A and B are shown apart, each in its own frame.
Chain A
Amino acid sequence: MAKNTSSSAFRKIDVDQYNEDNYKEDDCGESQSPPNIEALKTVLRNAPISSRNQMVKDAALNVVMQVLLSVKSSQIEEAVNALDRDHLDILMKYIYRGFETPSEGSSGQLLAWHEKVHAVAGVGCIVRVLTDKKRV
Protein backbone atom coordinates (compact mmCIF):
# COMPACT_ATOMS: atom_id res chain seq x y z
CA MET A 1 0.00 0.00 0.00
CA ALA A 2 2.79 2.38 0.65
CA LYS A 3 4.26 1.78 -2.82
CA ASN A 4 1.34 2.89 -4.90
CA THR A 5 1.03 6.23 -3.21
CA SER A 6 4.61 7.25 -3.84
CA SER A 7 4.11 8.15 -7.47
CA SER A 8 2.30 11.39 -8.08
CA ALA A 9 2.36 11.15 -11.84
CA PHE A 10 -1.37 10.72 -11.86
CA ARG A 11 -1.72 14.32 -10.89
CA LYS A 12 -0.31 15.36 -14.22
CA ILE A 13 -2.91 13.62 -16.39
CA ASP A 14 -5.71 15.72 -17.74
CA VAL A 15 -8.59 13.46 -16.74
CA ASP A 16 -11.13 15.77 -18.29
CA GLN A 17 -10.05 14.87 -21.81
CA TYR A 18 -11.36 11.37 -21.31
CA ASN A 19 -14.77 12.58 -20.29
CA GLU A 20 -17.28 12.46 -23.17
CA ASP A 21 -19.46 15.23 -21.87
CA ASN A 22 -16.65 17.64 -21.96
CA TYR A 23 -17.38 21.23 -22.88
CA LYS A 24 -15.74 21.88 -26.22
CA GLU A 25 -15.36 25.43 -27.37
CA ASP A 26 -16.20 24.70 -30.99
CA ASP A 27 -19.66 23.49 -30.18
CA CYS A 28 -21.17 26.86 -29.50
CA GLY A 29 -22.27 29.51 -31.96
CA GLU A 30 -21.28 28.00 -35.33
CA SER A 31 -23.80 25.20 -35.36
CA GLN A 32 -26.85 27.44 -35.47
CA SER A 33 -28.11 27.55 -39.06
CA PRO A 34 -28.55 31.24 -39.90
CA PRO A 35 -25.00 32.31 -38.94
CA ASN A 36 -23.57 29.51 -41.06
CA ILE A 37 -25.40 30.48 -44.19
CA GLU A 38 -24.61 34.12 -43.60
CA ALA A 39 -20.99 33.17 -43.06
CA LEU A 40 -21.01 31.33 -46.37
CA LYS A 41 -22.52 34.28 -48.20
CA THR A 42 -19.94 36.60 -46.68
CA VAL A 43 -16.92 34.52 -47.59
CA LEU A 44 -18.17 34.00 -51.13
CA ARG A 45 -18.93 37.65 -51.59
CA ASN A 46 -15.45 38.58 -50.45
CA ALA A 47 -13.66 35.80 -52.30
CA PRO A 48 -10.28 37.11 -53.46
CA ILE A 49 -10.64 36.11 -57.10
CA SER A 50 -8.74 39.03 -58.57
CA SER A 51 -5.95 38.85 -56.06
CA ARG A 52 -2.52 37.75 -57.20
CA ASN A 53 -1.38 37.05 -53.69
CA GLN A 54 -1.34 33.31 -53.20
CA MET A 55 -1.27 33.60 -49.40
CA VAL A 56 -4.45 35.64 -49.39
CA LYS A 57 -6.10 33.05 -51.59
CA ASP A 58 -4.93 30.18 -49.38
CA ALA A 59 -6.18 31.94 -46.27
CA ALA A 60 -9.55 32.52 -47.90
CA LEU A 61 -9.64 28.87 -48.92
CA ASN A 62 -9.13 27.77 -45.34
CA VAL A 63 -11.95 29.95 -44.11
CA VAL A 64 -14.29 28.72 -46.81
CA MET A 65 -13.39 25.12 -46.04
CA GLN A 66 -14.15 25.67 -42.37
CA VAL A 67 -17.55 27.07 -43.21
CA LEU A 68 -18.35 24.35 -45.73
CA LEU A 69 -17.38 21.55 -43.41
CA SER A 70 -19.25 23.01 -40.48
CA VAL A 71 -22.59 23.18 -42.24
CA LYS A 72 -24.69 20.11 -41.43
CA SER A 73 -25.60 17.85 -44.34
CA SER A 74 -29.29 18.57 -43.90
CA GLN A 75 -28.68 22.30 -44.19
CA ILE A 76 -26.61 22.22 -47.37
CA GLU A 77 -29.64 22.42 -49.62
CA GLU A 78 -30.99 25.42 -47.78
CA ALA A 79 -27.62 27.13 -48.01
CA VAL A 80 -27.34 26.48 -51.74
CA ASN A 81 -30.81 27.87 -52.39
CA ALA A 82 -29.86 31.07 -50.62
CA LEU A 83 -27.08 31.83 -53.09
CA ASP A 84 -27.28 33.51 -56.47
CA ARG A 85 -25.71 32.20 -59.66
CA ASP A 86 -22.45 34.10 -59.42
CA HIS A 87 -21.89 32.92 -55.87
CA LEU A 88 -22.72 29.36 -56.88
CA ASP A 89 -19.98 29.55 -59.51
CA ILE A 90 -17.50 30.72 -56.88
CA LEU A 91 -18.70 28.05 -54.45
CA MET A 92 -18.15 25.34 -57.05
CA LYS A 93 -14.60 26.61 -57.58
CA TYR A 94 -13.94 26.29 -53.86
CA ILE A 95 -15.47 22.81 -53.80
CA TYR A 96 -13.04 21.64 -56.45
CA ARG A 97 -10.13 23.33 -54.73
CA GLY A 98 -11.20 21.63 -51.54
CA PHE A 99 -10.99 18.28 -53.31
CA GLU A 100 -7.37 19.02 -54.12
CA THR A 101 -6.30 18.97 -50.49
CA PRO A 102 -8.46 16.47 -48.64
CA SER A 103 -8.55 16.31 -44.90
CA GLU A 104 -10.37 13.73 -42.86
CA GLY A 105 -13.94 13.37 -44.00
CA SER A 106 -13.76 16.52 -46.08
CA SER A 107 -14.17 14.91 -49.49
CA GLY A 108 -17.39 13.23 -48.47
CA GLN A 109 -18.86 16.48 -47.24
CA LEU A 110 -17.65 18.30 -50.34
CA LEU A 111 -19.28 15.68 -52.52
CA ALA A 112 -22.57 16.38 -50.79
CA TRP A 113 -22.08 20.09 -51.51
CA HIS A 114 -21.16 19.30 -55.11
CA GLU A 115 -24.33 17.32 -55.63
CA LYS A 116 -26.54 20.07 -54.29
CA VAL A 117 -24.85 22.84 -56.24
CA HIS A 118 -24.97 20.80 -59.44
CA ALA A 119 -28.69 20.17 -58.95
CA VAL A 120 -29.31 23.92 -58.94
CA ALA A 121 -26.69 25.29 -61.30
CA GLY A 122 -26.27 22.45 -63.77
CA VAL A 123 -23.18 21.47 -65.70
CA GLY A 124 -22.58 25.07 -66.80
CA CYS A 125 -21.32 25.81 -63.31
CA ILE A 126 -18.74 23.02 -63.55
CA VAL A 127 -17.70 24.16 -67.04
CA ARG A 128 -17.00 27.61 -65.63
CA VAL A 129 -14.70 26.13 -62.97
CA LEU A 130 -12.69 24.62 -65.80
CA THR A 131 -12.65 27.61 -68.16
CA ASP A 132 -12.38 30.56 -65.81
CA LYS A 133 -8.93 32.08 -65.82
CA LYS A 134 -9.51 33.63 -62.43
CA ARG A 135 -8.93 30.83 -59.99
CA VAL A 136 -9.75 30.90 -56.30
Chain B
Amino acid sequence: MPESLSFGIDPITAHAWNKDRTKLAISPNSPEVHIYHFQRGEWKLEEILKEHDLKVTGIDWAPNTNRIVTCSADRNAYVWTQSEEKKWKPTLVLLRINRAATCVRWSPLENKFAVGSGARLISVCYFEKENDWWVSKHIKKPIRSTVTCLDWHPNDVLLAAGSTDFKVRVFSAYIKEIEDRPVSTSWGSKMPLGLMMAEFSNSTNGAGGWVHSVNFSSSGDRIAWVGHDSSISVADASKGMAVSVIRTDFLPFLACLWVSENRLIAAGHGCCPMLFEVNETGKVQFAGKLDASLKKESSGVSAMKKFQSLDRQARTETNDTSLGTLHQNAITSVCLHTGNKANATKFSTAGVDGLLAIWDFNNLESAMRGLKFN
Protein backbone atom coordinates (compact mmCIF):
# COMPACT_ATOMS: atom_id res chain seq x y z
CA MET B 1 0.00 0.00 0.00
CA PRO B 2 1.69 3.24 -1.02
CA GLU B 3 2.26 5.80 1.68
CA SER B 4 0.17 8.90 1.01
CA LEU B 5 0.29 12.40 2.43
CA SER B 6 -2.50 14.86 1.91
CA PHE B 7 -1.65 18.51 1.61
CA GLY B 8 -5.14 19.87 1.50
CA ILE B 9 -7.38 20.45 -1.46
CA ASP B 10 -5.10 22.59 -3.62
CA PRO B 11 -3.33 20.87 -6.48
CA ILE B 12 0.37 20.27 -5.99
CA THR B 13 2.04 21.85 -9.00
CA ALA B 14 5.59 20.81 -8.16
CA HIS B 15 7.48 18.91 -5.49
CA ALA B 16 11.09 18.20 -4.58
CA TRP B 17 12.89 16.27 -1.85
CA ASN B 18 16.06 17.11 0.03
CA LYS B 19 18.98 14.69 0.07
CA ASP B 20 17.89 12.38 2.90
CA ARG B 21 14.19 12.72 2.16
CA THR B 22 13.40 14.28 5.53
CA LYS B 23 12.28 17.52 3.95
CA LEU B 24 9.86 18.20 1.17
CA ALA B 25 9.23 21.37 -0.82
CA ILE B 26 5.87 21.67 -2.52
CA SER B 27 3.94 24.40 -4.21
CA PRO B 28 0.16 24.33 -3.73
CA ASN B 29 -0.77 25.99 -7.04
CA SER B 30 0.16 29.42 -5.67
CA PRO B 31 3.13 31.82 -5.54
CA GLU B 32 4.26 30.14 -2.32
CA VAL B 33 6.56 27.23 -1.67
CA HIS B 34 5.93 25.20 1.47
CA ILE B 35 8.76 23.36 3.18
CA TYR B 36 7.73 20.36 5.25
CA HIS B 37 9.95 18.57 7.73
CA PHE B 38 9.49 14.99 8.88
CA GLN B 39 9.79 15.07 12.65
CA ARG B 40 8.72 12.52 15.21
CA GLY B 41 6.69 10.48 12.80
CA GLU B 42 4.77 13.25 11.07
CA TRP B 43 5.18 15.93 8.45
CA LYS B 44 5.18 19.46 9.88
CA LEU B 45 5.11 22.71 7.93
CA GLU B 46 8.47 24.27 8.64
CA GLU B 47 8.54 27.38 6.51
CA ILE B 48 6.68 29.17 3.73
CA LEU B 49 8.83 30.79 1.05
CA LYS B 50 7.07 33.84 -0.31
CA GLU B 51 8.94 35.70 -2.95
CA HIS B 52 7.29 34.98 -6.26
CA ASP B 53 4.42 37.14 -7.51
CA LEU B 54 2.72 34.56 -9.66
CA LYS B 55 2.22 30.81 -9.59
CA VAL B 56 5.34 28.74 -8.96
CA THR B 57 5.74 26.39 -11.90
CA GLY B 58 8.85 24.42 -10.94
CA ILE B 59 10.90 23.47 -7.89
CA ASP B 60 14.17 21.55 -7.77
CA TRP B 61 16.25 20.76 -4.70
CA ALA B 62 19.98 20.16 -5.18
CA PRO B 63 20.81 17.28 -2.83
CA ASN B 64 24.49 17.94 -2.19
CA THR B 65 24.67 21.72 -2.07
CA ASN B 66 21.25 21.87 -0.37
CA ARG B 67 19.97 24.71 -2.53
CA ILE B 68 16.43 25.05 -3.81
CA VAL B 69 15.68 26.70 -7.13
CA THR B 70 12.13 27.83 -7.91
CA CYS B 71 10.75 29.30 -11.10
CA SER B 72 7.46 30.99 -11.65
CA ALA B 73 5.01 32.44 -14.13
CA ASP B 74 6.32 35.86 -13.03
CA ARG B 75 9.35 35.29 -15.34
CA ASN B 76 11.75 34.97 -12.41
CA ALA B 77 13.72 32.26 -10.69
CA TYR B 78 15.10 32.31 -7.17
CA VAL B 79 17.88 30.24 -5.69
CA TRP B 80 17.23 29.63 -1.99
CA THR B 81 20.01 28.84 0.45
CA GLN B 82 19.65 27.99 4.09
CA SER B 83 21.22 30.43 6.52
CA GLU B 84 22.65 29.60 9.95
CA GLU B 85 19.27 30.09 11.59
CA LYS B 86 17.85 27.51 9.21
CA LYS B 87 15.84 30.14 7.36
CA TRP B 88 15.73 30.04 3.57
CA LYS B 89 17.08 33.17 1.88
CA PRO B 90 16.30 33.90 -1.78
CA THR B 91 18.64 35.19 -4.45
CA LEU B 92 17.05 36.54 -7.59
CA VAL B 93 18.27 35.11 -10.89
CA LEU B 94 17.85 37.30 -13.96
CA LEU B 95 16.56 34.90 -16.57
CA ARG B 96 16.01 37.68 -19.12
CA ILE B 97 12.82 36.10 -20.42
CA ASN B 98 9.65 37.92 -21.39
CA ARG B 99 7.25 35.06 -20.78
CA ALA B 100 6.54 32.70 -17.91
CA ALA B 101 9.08 30.14 -16.76
CA THR B 102 7.66 26.62 -16.98
CA CYS B 103 10.18 24.18 -15.49
CA VAL B 104 13.56 24.17 -13.77
CA ARG B 105 16.25 21.54 -13.17
CA TRP B 106 19.58 21.55 -11.36
CA SER B 107 22.37 19.92 -13.32
CA PRO B 108 23.82 16.69 -11.86
CA LEU B 109 26.86 18.49 -10.43
CA GLU B 110 24.64 21.33 -9.16
CA ASN B 111 26.86 24.03 -10.62
CA LYS B 112 24.17 25.29 -12.97
CA PHE B 113 20.49 24.94 -13.64
CA ALA B 114 18.27 25.23 -16.69
CA VAL B 115 14.88 26.96 -16.89
CA GLY B 116 12.37 26.36 -19.66
CA SER B 117 9.99 29.15 -20.59
CA GLY B 118 7.14 30.29 -22.75
CA ALA B 119 9.58 32.69 -24.40
CA ARG B 120 10.62 29.78 -26.66
CA LEU B 121 14.02 29.51 -25.05
CA ILE B 122 15.95 27.80 -22.30
CA SER B 123 17.94 29.85 -19.77
CA VAL B 124 21.02 28.06 -18.50
CA CYS B 125 22.17 29.80 -15.33
CA TYR B 126 25.46 29.56 -13.48
CA PHE B 127 26.99 31.46 -10.59
CA GLU B 128 29.61 34.05 -11.47
CA LYS B 129 31.87 34.45 -8.45
CA GLU B 130 33.48 37.73 -9.50
CA ASN B 131 30.19 39.61 -9.47
CA ASP B 132 28.48 37.39 -6.92
CA TRP B 133 25.41 36.81 -9.01
CA TRP B 134 23.70 34.25 -11.24
CA VAL B 135 24.19 34.78 -14.96
CA SER B 136 21.97 33.26 -17.62
CA LYS B 137 22.78 32.15 -21.13
CA HIS B 138 20.06 31.45 -23.67
CA ILE B 139 19.46 28.51 -25.94
CA LYS B 140 17.02 29.65 -28.60
CA LYS B 141 17.42 27.96 -31.96
CA PRO B 142 15.49 26.12 -33.26
CA ILE B 143 12.85 26.04 -30.52
CA ARG B 144 9.58 27.26 -32.00
CA SER B 145 7.24 27.17 -29.02
CA THR B 146 7.02 26.93 -25.23
CA VAL B 147 9.52 24.63 -23.54
CA THR B 148 7.51 22.41 -21.20
CA CYS B 149 10.04 20.04 -19.65
CA LEU B 150 13.78 19.59 -19.16
CA ASP B 151 16.18 16.90 -18.03
CA TRP B 152 19.98 16.79 -17.76
CA HIS B 153 22.30 14.09 -19.10
CA PRO B 154 24.55 12.57 -16.39
CA ASN B 155 27.57 14.25 -18.02
CA ASP B 156 26.33 17.63 -16.75
CA VAL B 157 26.49 19.16 -20.23
CA LEU B 158 23.70 17.78 -22.39
CA LEU B 159 20.15 18.90 -21.79
CA ALA B 160 16.94 17.41 -23.17
CA ALA B 161 13.98 19.69 -23.72
CA GLY B 162 10.40 18.90 -24.70
CA SER B 163 8.24 21.57 -26.20
CA THR B 164 4.76 22.42 -27.42
CA ASP B 165 6.09 22.48 -30.97
CA PHE B 166 5.74 18.66 -30.77
CA LYS B 167 9.50 18.11 -30.63
CA VAL B 168 12.06 16.77 -28.18
CA ARG B 169 15.57 18.14 -28.59
CA VAL B 170 18.92 17.44 -26.96
CA PHE B 171 21.09 20.54 -26.61
CA SER B 172 24.53 21.21 -25.31
CA ALA B 173 24.48 23.45 -22.25
CA TYR B 174 28.24 23.62 -21.95
CA ILE B 175 29.34 26.71 -20.01
CA LYS B 176 33.01 27.18 -20.68
CA GLU B 177 33.41 29.59 -17.73
CA ILE B 178 32.73 26.94 -15.14
CA GLU B 179 33.63 23.59 -16.58
CA ASP B 180 36.09 21.66 -18.71
CA ARG B 181 35.36 20.49 -22.18
CA PRO B 182 33.21 17.36 -22.01
CA VAL B 183 34.29 14.03 -23.47
CA SER B 184 32.30 12.74 -26.40
CA THR B 185 29.15 10.71 -25.78
CA SER B 186 26.80 8.70 -27.91
CA TRP B 187 25.05 11.99 -28.70
CA GLY B 188 28.06 13.55 -30.38
CA SER B 189 31.56 14.83 -29.74
CA LYS B 190 31.54 18.57 -30.36
CA MET B 191 29.33 20.33 -27.82
CA PRO B 192 29.45 24.11 -27.97
CA LEU B 193 26.75 25.89 -25.99
CA GLY B 194 23.38 25.85 -27.71
CA LEU B 195 24.22 23.23 -30.33
CA MET B 196 21.30 20.93 -31.01
CA MET B 197 22.67 17.38 -30.81
CA ALA B 198 19.45 15.60 -31.77
CA GLU B 199 15.83 16.33 -32.52
CA PHE B 200 12.89 13.93 -32.30
CA SER B 201 9.37 14.51 -33.45
CA ASN B 202 6.59 13.35 -31.18
CA SER B 203 5.00 11.30 -33.90
CA THR B 204 5.97 9.41 -37.04
CA ASN B 205 3.87 11.49 -39.37
CA GLY B 206 4.43 14.93 -37.99
CA ALA B 207 1.29 15.06 -35.93
CA GLY B 208 1.14 14.08 -32.27
CA GLY B 209 0.74 16.13 -29.14
CA TRP B 210 2.65 18.47 -26.86
CA VAL B 211 5.57 16.90 -25.09
CA HIS B 212 4.81 16.87 -21.36
CA SER B 213 7.90 15.29 -19.86
CA VAL B 214 11.34 14.14 -20.94
CA ASN B 215 13.85 12.00 -19.04
CA PHE B 216 17.40 10.74 -19.62
CA SER B 217 18.18 7.20 -18.48
CA SER B 218 20.96 6.66 -15.94
CA SER B 219 23.55 5.92 -18.64
CA GLY B 220 22.48 8.94 -20.66
CA ASP B 221 22.18 6.87 -23.83
CA ARG B 222 18.43 6.66 -23.75
CA ILE B 223 15.84 9.36 -23.52
CA ALA B 224 12.14 8.83 -22.85
CA TRP B 225 9.30 11.28 -23.40
CA VAL B 226 5.54 11.36 -23.05
CA GLY B 227 3.17 13.37 -25.16
CA HIS B 228 -0.39 14.58 -25.09
CA ASP B 229 -1.37 12.11 -27.78
CA SER B 230 -1.18 9.43 -25.05
CA SER B 231 2.11 8.21 -26.42
CA ILE B 232 5.33 7.20 -24.74
CA SER B 233 8.57 7.06 -26.71
CA VAL B 234 12.15 5.98 -26.10
CA ALA B 235 15.10 7.02 -28.25
CA ASP B 236 18.49 5.35 -27.99
CA ALA B 237 21.58 7.27 -29.05
CA SER B 238 23.73 4.17 -28.81
CA LYS B 239 21.50 2.53 -31.43
CA GLY B 240 21.72 5.26 -34.02
CA MET B 241 18.95 7.42 -32.54
CA ALA B 242 16.41 4.62 -32.99
CA VAL B 243 13.01 5.57 -31.62
CA SER B 244 10.38 3.22 -30.26
CA VAL B 245 6.87 4.58 -29.68
CA ILE B 246 3.71 3.20 -28.15
CA ARG B 247 0.46 5.02 -28.67
CA THR B 248 -1.27 3.83 -25.54
CA ASP B 249 -4.93 3.28 -24.75
CA PHE B 250 -4.71 5.40 -21.64
CA LEU B 251 -5.22 9.07 -20.99
CA PRO B 252 -2.11 11.18 -21.68
CA PHE B 253 0.84 11.00 -19.30
CA LEU B 254 2.26 14.14 -17.72
CA ALA B 255 5.46 12.81 -16.17
CA CYS B 256 7.93 10.03 -16.80
CA LEU B 257 10.96 8.74 -14.90
CA TRP B 258 13.50 5.98 -15.52
CA VAL B 259 13.80 3.57 -12.58
CA SER B 260 16.39 1.27 -14.12
CA GLU B 261 18.21 1.20 -17.42
CA ASN B 262 15.29 -0.73 -18.95
CA ARG B 263 12.25 0.28 -16.96
CA LEU B 264 10.40 3.53 -16.64
CA ILE B 265 7.38 4.92 -14.87
CA ALA B 266 4.85 7.17 -16.53
CA ALA B 267 1.90 8.84 -14.80
CA GLY B 268 -0.60 11.50 -15.72
CA HIS B 269 -4.25 12.09 -16.43
CA GLY B 270 -5.08 8.44 -15.84
CA CYS B 271 -4.22 8.98 -12.14
CA CYS B 272 -2.27 5.72 -12.03
CA PRO B 273 1.49 5.20 -12.39
CA MET B 274 2.25 2.77 -15.20
CA LEU B 275 5.38 0.72 -15.68
CA PHE B 276 6.98 0.38 -19.11
CA GLU B 277 9.87 -1.83 -20.12
CA VAL B 278 12.37 -1.61 -22.95
CA ASN B 279 13.35 -5.02 -24.29
CA GLU B 280 16.65 -6.15 -25.83
CA THR B 281 15.71 -4.90 -29.29
CA GLY B 282 14.99 -1.44 -27.92
CA LYS B 283 11.24 -1.73 -28.20
CA VAL B 284 9.18 -0.18 -25.40
CA GLN B 285 6.33 -2.25 -23.99
CA PHE B 286 3.68 -1.77 -21.36
CA ALA B 287 4.59 -3.75 -18.26
CA GLY B 288 1.75 -3.08 -15.85
CA LYS B 289 -0.28 -0.71 -13.72
CA LEU B 290 1.33 0.04 -10.40
CA ASP B 291 -1.86 0.95 -8.60
CA ALA B 292 -3.55 -2.36 -8.08
CA SER B 293 -4.15 -1.60 -4.43
CA LEU B 294 -7.62 -0.17 -4.53
CA LYS B 295 -9.76 -2.44 -6.62
CA LYS B 296 -13.35 -1.34 -6.59
CA GLU B 297 -15.78 -4.02 -5.48
CA SER B 298 -16.80 -5.49 -8.74
CA SER B 299 -19.38 -7.65 -7.02
CA GLY B 300 -21.76 -4.74 -7.29
CA VAL B 301 -24.14 -3.43 -4.74
CA SER B 302 -24.17 -4.81 -1.22
CA ALA B 303 -26.97 -4.09 1.18
CA MET B 304 -24.58 -2.46 3.62
CA LYS B 305 -23.28 -0.06 0.99
CA LYS B 306 -26.75 0.87 -0.07
CA PHE B 307 -27.87 1.82 3.42
CA GLN B 308 -24.61 3.58 4.10
CA SER B 309 -24.99 5.78 1.09
CA LEU B 310 -28.61 6.43 1.95
CA ASP B 311 -27.61 7.43 5.43
CA ARG B 312 -24.65 9.62 4.51
CA GLN B 313 -25.62 11.07 1.21
CA ALA B 314 -29.39 10.57 1.07
CA ARG B 315 -29.21 8.70 -2.17
CA THR B 316 -29.98 5.14 -3.07
CA GLU B 317 -27.59 4.79 -5.96
CA THR B 318 -24.21 3.43 -5.09
CA ASN B 319 -22.16 4.47 -8.06
CA ASP B 320 -19.24 6.19 -6.40
CA THR B 321 -17.65 9.20 -7.89
CA SER B 322 -14.31 8.15 -6.43
CA LEU B 323 -11.78 6.52 -8.72
CA GLY B 324 -10.38 3.07 -8.17
CA THR B 325 -6.87 4.48 -7.87
CA LEU B 326 -5.04 6.11 -4.98
CA HIS B 327 -4.86 9.46 -6.71
CA GLN B 328 -8.26 10.98 -7.31
CA ASN B 329 -7.08 13.41 -9.93
CA ALA B 330 -4.27 13.74 -12.44
CA ILE B 331 -0.71 13.08 -11.33
CA THR B 332 1.40 16.11 -12.27
CA SER B 333 4.90 15.13 -11.18
CA VAL B 334 6.98 12.06 -10.40
CA CYS B 335 10.24 12.21 -8.41
CA LEU B 336 12.85 9.67 -7.44
CA HIS B 337 12.66 8.95 -3.74
CA THR B 338 15.03 6.11 -2.87
CA GLY B 339 17.77 4.86 -5.12
CA ASN B 340 18.83 6.40 -8.38
CA LYS B 341 17.81 6.17 -12.03
CA ALA B 342 19.82 3.00 -12.45
CA ASN B 343 18.08 1.27 -9.60
CA ALA B 344 15.17 2.97 -7.89
CA THR B 345 13.27 1.38 -5.05
CA LYS B 346 10.86 4.18 -4.23
CA PHE B 347 9.39 7.07 -6.17
CA SER B 348 6.90 9.78 -5.27
CA THR B 349 3.94 11.15 -7.20
CA ALA B 350 2.05 14.38 -6.58
CA GLY B 351 -1.24 15.35 -8.14
CA VAL B 352 -4.05 17.79 -8.72
CA ASP B 353 -5.88 16.17 -5.79
CA GLY B 354 -3.36 17.59 -3.29
CA LEU B 355 -2.03 14.13 -2.53
CA LEU B 356 1.60 13.06 -2.46
CA ALA B 357 2.17 9.32 -2.56
CA ILE B 358 5.38 7.35 -2.09
CA TRP B 359 5.43 4.07 -4.00
CA ASP B 360 7.72 1.25 -2.93
CA PHE B 361 8.70 -1.31 -5.56
CA ASN B 362 9.26 -3.94 -2.90
CA ASN B 363 5.61 -3.70 -1.87
CA LEU B 364 4.40 -3.47 -5.42
CA GLU B 365 6.08 -6.72 -6.40
CA SER B 366 3.22 -8.78 -5.11
CA ALA B 367 0.81 -6.71 -7.17
CA MET B 368 2.94 -7.29 -10.21
CA ARG B 369 3.26 -11.03 -9.89
CA GLY B 370 4.05 -12.60 -13.18
CA LEU B 371 6.11 -9.73 -14.58
CA LYS B 372 9.72 -10.49 -15.32
CA PHE B 373 12.31 -8.25 -13.69
CA ASN B 374 15.61 -7.65 -15.48
Contact = CB atoms under 8 A, between A and B. Distances in A.
B251 A134 contact: no
Contact of B229 (A49, A86, A122, A128): A128
Interface string B165-185: 010000000000000000000
A89 B252 CA distance: 15
Interface string B240-270: 0000000111111000000000000000000
A49 B252 CA distance: 22
A91 interface: no
A131 B229 contact: yes
A106 B187 CA distance: 52
Interface residues of B, number: 16
B208 interface: yes
A93 to B, nearest CB: 11
A124 B208 CA distance: 12
Given A49-B205, A134-B207, A89 B228 contact: no
A7 to B, nearest CB: 66
Nearest to A118: B249
A50 B228 CA distance: 20
Given A131-B228, A131-B229, A132-B229, A124 B207 contact: no
Classify the secondary structure of B's interface with A. loop
Interface in B221-235: 228-230
A127 B208 CA distance: 10
Residue from B228, B247, B252 whose CB has the most chain A CB atoms within 10 Å: B247
Q: Kindly state the interface size class of chain A when it binds its partner.
A: 10 to 19
Contact of A122 (B206, B210, B249): B249
Interface string A114-132: 0000000111110110011
Contacts of A72: none
Nearest to B210: A131
Given A131-B207, A131-B210, A132-B207, 6 more contacts: A50-B205, A122-B250, A128-B247, A132-B209, A133-B206, A134-B206
Interface of B: 166, 205-210, 228-230, 247-252
Interface of A: 49-50, 85-86, 89, 121-125, 127-128, 131-134
21 contacts: A85-B247, A86-B247, A89-B247, A121-B249, A122-B248, A122-B250, A123-B249, A123-B250, A124-B230, A124-B249, A124-B250, A124-B251, A127-B252, A128-B209, A128-B229, A131-B228, A131-B229, A133-B166, A133-B207, A133-B208, A134-B207
